[in-house]
Structure 1
């Protein structure tokens, strides 16, 4: 689904369920992570999380749009548009919108490997662990000012 198709869908849902026109912009925003959508107070635009549409389908998308349109229309009518307001709760119930969006299916966490680099002083045998490589000709041991040597590079699974 494209942004243009989303715009048309939001306009039709607004007319069908709220009997009011949606006169602003609706678009997908892939940067949204923790929410299904958001209504922007200053611009009156609506942004929808595309991940919810991809994972849960059109029914979930319609629910998110109804929720955001409740914020939109109540705000423009100077009525209680916040989640805590009775106006918002009543309108949401009337149009059949969800109070919260469904949770996304759990994505398997990938095993993260971090590289650990260990340097050793040739004089006092002090060991230093680093995440990035360093120039051993430029740096010396902080304890005895001896020369440093690369001892080993490990990959640690976190």
Structure 2
């Protein structure tokens, strides 16, 4: 999919789901890393992460565009356009846009690699954590036994 095709798709989705035209630019931004897309408040453009199209396909891009169009139309109308605003949540539901996009495989692999595991010395319960746990301060939540770092072999 090219930037021009993305622009046409965005304009089509804006009319179809919101009943309003999209008068700005939509394009791919290869520098986006942690998000599927973003709406720029300063110039009203929408940027989309191309990796999501490559990995998840057309439907995921449609969801991302609808999500960003919710930000776009609410911001232009002067309503609550942020993720926590009631206006934003209602519009997401109305148009069937996802609140979050699916994670990329490279992100999932990083999360799996960075998991730390701890085991209780009494009941042998295994705890998986992304962040380091101070084993001198925290104990097992089930039996209050001492935690040790666990290395799966």
Question: Same-fold call, TM > 0.5?
Answer: yes
Query: Equivalent residue for 1:62?
Result: 62
State the Cα RMSD in Å. Answer: 1.2
Structure 1 gap segments, 5+ residues each = 110-158
Query: Equivalent residue for 2:13?
Result: 13
> Which of structures 1 and 2 has the bigger CA Rg?
1
Query: Equivalent residue for 2:140?
Result: none
Distance 1:90 1:7 in 2: 25
How do 1:128-147 residues align onto structure 2 when only pairs under 5 Å count? none
* Larger strand percent: 1
* Larger helix percent: 2
| Normalised TM-score (structure 1) | 0.67
| Normalised TM-score (structure 2) | 0.69
How do 1:145-156 residues align onto structure 2 when only pairs under 5 Å count? none
- Partner SS for 1:106: helix
Query: Equivalent residue for 1:72?
Result: 72
Query: Equivalent residue for 1:24?
Result: 24
| TM-superposed deviation, 1:105 | 1.7
Query: Equivalent residue for 2:98?
Result: 98
Distance 1:29 1:106 in 2: 18
| TM-superposed deviation, 1:106 | 3.5
